[in-house]
Structure 1
Amino acid sequence: MKDFRQDITDISGKISKIGADPTGGMTRLLYTKEWVEAQKALKQIFETAGFAASHDATGNLSARLTGSKYPEQTILTGSHIDTVVNGGNLDGQFGIEASFLAANYLKDTYGPPLRSLEVIALAEEEGSRFPYVFWGSKNIFGQARRQDVENIADAKGVNFVDAMHSAGFDFRPEDQPVRKDIAAFVEIHIEQGKVLETEGKTIGVVTSIVGQRRYDIRLKGESNHAGTTPMGYRRDTVYAFSRICTESIAKARAEGDPLVLTFGKVEPKPNTVNVVPGFTHFTMDCRHTDAVALDRFTLEIEADMRRIAAEMGIEIEIDRWMDEKPIPMNKQLVECVSHLCEKHKVNYRLIHSGAGHDSQIFSPHVPTVMIFVPSIDGISHNPAEKTHLDDLAEGVKVLAHTLYQLAWTEEGGSL
């Protein structure tokens, strides 16, 4: 098969310039000018290669090859184009680039596919600009609700709907039927962890994606003079947060793997040296591969937070704004990719994903599988995010083998 290393370097060089920070990071948030520019650049690349490219109402970009025998059956592959703030240039982006390179190679080598093949650059996955995740993939299946985003805004106060309209997009028409043509979805992604690198594996075939619960939590106490307010009279929200954080992390450690718990952002107010902080906003992220365990643990932590706040005379508001259940990948597709790795002597292992991905939105609706390539030092959501070029190229090859099996062979229709 073709050596994809130069192709990866070329296409990544074009797309990675868009949203690049001078310090080395990448910021490309939903409906910003950087996001619009990236989608336009991808569309031009797709069309130049002979794909029929178009956006849906909300901004998902598709590049399509129509099937010669079963055009009504679509094999879909791709990932998301948005990034976190000051992230890397592989998370999401590599999945789109790899899908295009694999599809374009197969087109040039074998001609039109039997089933339609579609590369998709999904509008949004990260939730980095607005408190809403999977806007792109949820719109594919009519899961995204207008009322969930009409009144939300970004950190600068820009309303979601205004940003969407400014970018030239709109809500999915309410009378538009949900797509029934997708026969399978295949997503390739960097691992964002250290398992593959530590074990010396080139490819991970994902068996499941962890469930996630994300929270915005606000504590309201009383701001007061740091010198004249005795310790026993204080309603200090930073102290309350510190108790919540310490107790929760201790319980998470006792629970053990695969549960993970993260307090990612803490904003005390007035945030000055000589005032007792009367307000603190913080975030919490909890993940587990087992839905029952995730539910049990988070409900216990929520109760603990309310208890601590009550003991300290502090008001608490807990907003669980994300609640995604653990999602299994399609067993037949996992076996298919595993078999192809064995056939082509690829060093792989089965693995679960500790990060959320668009595949968890697709999986309940259509047969879905994910392919991982290693992350150097497990680093992601960081300008230092990197994967060896040889590993990226091997990932494109495995993806190409998979897409060939699904779209170019008669047997692919039985999976």
Structure 2
Amino acid sequence: MKINIGRLMKEVEFYGQYGSVSGEGITRPSFSAADYEVRAIFINQLKEMGLQVHVDPIANIWGKLACEREDAATIVIGSHLDTVPNGGKFDGALGVLVAKEIIQTLLENNVLLQHNLEIVSFTAEEPNDFNLSTMGSRALTGKLTYSQLMNTSDSNGRMLHEAVKKAGGDLTKLSEITRENLAAYFELHIEQGKRLERQNLSIGIVDKIVGIYRDQIQVHGEANHSGTTMMVDRIDALTAACEMVLAIENITRSFNTDAVATVGKLDVYPNAANIIPGRVDFTLEIRSSCKEERRAIKDAIYKEFEKISESRKINIISNNILDQEECTFDADIVRYLQETADSLEIPYTTFASMAGHDATHVAGIAKTAMIFVKSIDGKSHSPEELSLAEDIEKAANTLLEAILMADKKL
């Protein structure tokens, strides 16, 4: 029994139309016009398949293929349909569409499971104008509170509860969102990196998600006239910040592991052509699957910051804004994916995801694991995002067989 790869790829192209702008990728953030349109299409498709469909209070979309046992637990497959601005058609949507294709394959082959099998499309996995990413999975697992959600608005003043209601949810019923009796959660996703491509592998099995550490850093120098202040007299916050950013890169590379550190955002004050910058704000992010390594990298970075502060006579103020632990997935679910890949003679590697996903949060309430598909050139969050049909087919068939194995063994 195999999935229909031709049908699946047509669906990927079909969904990729919504929010698409020629040459600029797909912009389909949650609660945008394109998102509402895709939601309606997806719900209709699930109903046409004969699934039991409901939209929960945070507007996650669920479609259930019920088994005959009334007391049966549920296996869930899912991901998300929203995108980043100018993103691609595979990130998130591929996982949801593969889930739909797997259930369609089971229906066509009259396969009856011992568990209920359910699709989920999570709300707002990507960053959005409400500044709450992985919103649907965090709300499901109790990590977002009623008051936090009810008091949230976007940059235009639209309240989140209004946007959720338009999507079919109802935040006033948030207490009813808790799911019980979940046997397992599987999520298929593109890798969004080059590790699989470097090893010439179609799939990777994910046994954990890295921890993420972020500090907001202020570099204080002295603003002054760019023409009248001689080089020897300058206390330039920007040049100091540049030295700090390079130190972050060099120190993290020196560990020679999969750990990464990034400065992706800088704000320069007063940001004028004829004024020496008096202050720079930037965010330091460190990702690693090992807490001790994250701490060691951070300590080495701040030791170098102290040297830069002294040599350049600047002041540094830091504030931690995120210290998210790594998430280790369930050994049984990981093993089912590995054994399935072995039985299908599909080469794979097992590694940690360097990006966060809804699975990070679902792992707190269900046995969870992920499977990655090779990304060509490692590109993601980009119009050039691409995974090949031959790689997707291998990943989807591995996931299908792993679900059948889990249905028998759980």
Cα pair distance change 1:178/1:296, threshold 3 Å: farther
Q: Name the TM-score, length of structure 1 as normaliser.
A: 0.88
Deviations 1:313-352 (A, max 9, x none): 44635341x3321122211112111111222222222222
Q: Counterpart of 2:372?
A: 372
Deviations 1:95-120 (A, max 9, x none): 00001101111122124432111100
Q: CA deviation at 1:298?
A: 2.9
Deviations 1:334-371 (A, max 9, x none): 21111112222222222222222221212232111111
1:332 aligns with 2:298: no
Q: CA deviation at 1:13?
A: 2.1
Q: Counterpart of 2:138?
A: 138
User: Which moves more between the two structures, 24-33 or 152-161?
Assistant: 152-161
Q: Counterpart of 1:56?
A: 56
Cα pair distance change 1:7/1:388, threshold 3 Å: same
Structure 2 Cα separation of the partners of residues 208 and 382 of structure 1: 25
Cα pair distance change 1:233/1:56, threshold 3 Å: farther
Q: Name the TM-score, length of structure 2 as normaliser.
A: 0.89
Matched AA of 1:145: T
Where structure 2 has 5 or more consecutive residues not aligned to the other structure, the ranges are none
Q: Counterpart of 1:350?
A: 350
Deviations 1:70-125 (A, max 9, x none): 55400011112222222211111100000110111112212443211110001122
Q: Counterpart of 2:227?
A: 227
Cα pair distance change 1:255/1:2, threshold 3 Å: closer
Structure 1 Cα separation of the partners of residues 352 and 374 of structure 2: 13
1:412 aligns with 2:402: no
1:3-402 → structure 2 map (5 Å cutoff): 4-69=4-69, 71-146=71-146, 148=148, 160=160, 163-164=163-164, 169-171=169-171, 173=173, 175-176=175-176, 178-219=178-219, 221-231=221-231, 233-298=233-298, 301=301, 305=305, 312-314=313-315, 316-320=317-321, 322-402=322-402
Structure 2 Cα separation of the partners of residues 147 and 156 of structure 1: 20
Structure 2 Cα separation of the partners of residues 270 and 151 of structure 1: 32
Structure 2 Cα separation of the partners of residues 226 and 216 of structure 1: 27
Residues 221 and 315, structure 1, Cα contact 8 Å, conserved in 2: no
Q: CA deviation at 1:236?
A: 3.2
Cα pair distance change 1:351/1:145, threshold 3 Å: same
Cα pair distance change 1:228/1:147, threshold 3 Å: farther
Tell me the secondary structure at the aligned position of residue 294 of structure 2.
helix
Structure 1 Cα separation of the partners of residues 174 and 370 of structure 2: 30
Structure 2 Cα separation of the partners of residues 270 and 381 of structure 1: 31
The alignment of Structure 1 onto Structure 2 pairs a total of residues equal to 409
Q: CA deviation at 1:188?
A: 0.7
Q: CA deviation at 1:164?
A: 4.3
Tell me the secondary structure at the aligned position of residue 171 of structure 2.
coil
User: Which moves more between the two structures, 211-220 or 324-333?
Assistant: 211-220
Matched AA of 1:333: I
Q: CA deviation at 1:228?
A: 2.5
**TM-align CA RMSD:** 2.7
Tell me the secondary structure at the aligned position of residue 186 of structure 1.
strand
How much identity, in percent, do the aligned residues show? 27
Where structure 1 has 5 or more consecutive residues not aligned to the other structure, the ranges are none
